[in-house]
Structure 1
Amino acid sequence: MALNKELLQILACPKCKGGLELLDREEGLKCAACGLVYPVREEIPVMLIDEAVPVARWEQGVRENKA
């Protein structure tokens, strides 16, 4: 099941309030301005700054932010 398109239109980055881009396979929402990816778990976007993964780490396959 795909993420609700209406939900995607109103979501904003919790850090900078900028727009988000849905990644391929709907695994995450990317904020280009902050360089963060907010993971989507069980079709629910996790919109917590502490859970966001830097884009570089996301591209290396890291899907959880473990500080």
Structure 2
Amino acid sequence: MGLIDERLAAILVCADCHGELEELADESVLRCVKCGLRFGVADGIPNMIVADATKSAGE
């Protein structure tokens, strides 16, 4: 099982640019493949607040 429920993962997009998200389970984050924002996940609940997100290194 992934970081978040499969049904939620199927519809969730980046809160900033609406890009596709990929799970980085070893870091407990969802990363936008388009803009590189990283959204933390705690207990299966993603924090999709843009102000709380971090930028991927090199983005």
TM-score bin (small chain):
0.7 to 0.9
| Structure of higher CA gyration radius | 1
1:16 maps to amino acid: C
Q: How many residues align?
A: 57
TM-score norm. by structure 1 comes to 0.73
Q: Deviations over 1:5-60 (max 9, x none)?
A: 0100100001111110011236010002111100002221000100111111xxxx
In the alignment, structure 2 segments of 5+ residues that lack a partner are none
Note the aligned Cα RMSD (angstroms). 2.0
Partner SS, residue 9 of structure 1: helix
Does 2:44 match 1:47?
no
Partner SS, residue 41 of structure 2: strand
Does 2:3 match 1:28?
no
Query: Structure 1 vs Structure 2: percent identity of aligned residues?
Result: 39
In the alignment, structure 1 segments of 5+ residues that lack a partner are 57-67
TM-score norm. by structure 2 comes to 0.82
Conserved 8 A contact 2:5-2:44? no
